[in-house]
Amino acid sequence: MSHAAKFLDEVCETARRIEPDAIEALCDELAGLREREGRLFILGVGGSAGNCSHAVNDFRKLCGIEAYAPTDNVSELTARTNDEGWSTVFAEWLKVSRAGSKDAILVFSVGGGNLEKNVSANLVAAIEEAKSRGTRILGIVGRDGGYTKKSGDVVVVIPAVEPSRITPHTEAFQAVVWHCLVSHPKLQHRATKW
Along the 194 residues of the chain, how does pLDDT read in single tens digits?
999 999 999 999 999 999 999 999 999 999 999 999 999 999 999 999 999 999 999 999 999 999 999 999 999 999 999 999 999 999 999 999 999 999 999 999 999 999 889 899 999 999 999 999 999 999 999 999 899 999 999 999 999 999 999 999 999 999 999 999 999 999 999 988 88
Q: What confidence score (pLDDT) does residue 136 get? A: 98
Q: What confidence score (pLDDT) does residue 118 get? A: 87
For helices 74-83 and 89-96, what crossing angle results, to 10°?
120
Residue 105: name the closest of 54, 144, 155 by CA. Answer: 155
Q: What confidence score (pLDDT) does residue 193 get? A: 85
**Is-contact 106 114, C-beta < 8 A?**
no
pTM of the model: 0.96
Phi–psi pair at 22, nearest 5 degrees: -70, -40
User: Contacts for 64-68 with beta carbons within 8 Å, 24 or more apart?
Assistant: 64/34, 64/189, 64/190, 65/30, 65/33, 65/34, 65/40, 65/187, 66/37, 66/38, 66/39, 66/40, 67/39, 67/40, 67/41, 67/42, 68/39, 68/40, 68/41, 68/42, 68/97
Would you identify the CATH topology of the domain 3-69+103-114+136-182? Rossmann fold (3.40.50)
Measured distance CA(84)–CA(151) in Å, rounded: 25
Residues 6+ apart with CB under 8 A from 127: 105, 107, 113, 137, 147, 148, 151, 152
DSSP state of 120: S
- Collapsing DSSP states into helix, strand and coil, what is residue 46? coil
Phi–psi pair at 153, nearest 5 degrees: -85, -45
CA angle 93, 61, 190 (to 5 degrees): 150
